[in-house]
Amino acid sequence: MSQENTRFPVLGVDIAFRPSADMERVRRAVSLVEERFTDQKQRSRGVQSKDVLLTYMALGLADDLLQSKIKLDAARERMAAMLSKIEKSIGQ
């Protein structure tokens, strides 16, 4: 296996990825970033700068991450409650 970084252009910027990176996952992420950037650019009718558009994209991704964390935390709480019920029923 090659030890050299794999490079991908992302919105015109050449980005290096570690040899251990899951390249299919990287490709999907690059595609998502480019799709969101294109969508945001079309919504703004090309008026906003790349920095502003990328900031909106970063905020959108951060919001997605926060929402996923909320759902994960809720799932963990439900699992803990179920485990507690199971332990109580076994202890009887």
Could you tell me the residue ranges of all domains in the chain? 6-91
1 pLDDT band, cuts 50/70/90, is very low
* Ramachandran quadrant class, 46 (left: phi over 0; alpha: psi -120 to 50; beta: rest): left
2 has a pLDDT exceeding 80? no
Q: Record the pTM.
A: 0.59
Q: What is the model's pLDDT at position 92?
A: 62
Torsions phi, psi of 11, nearest 5? Answer: 55, 40
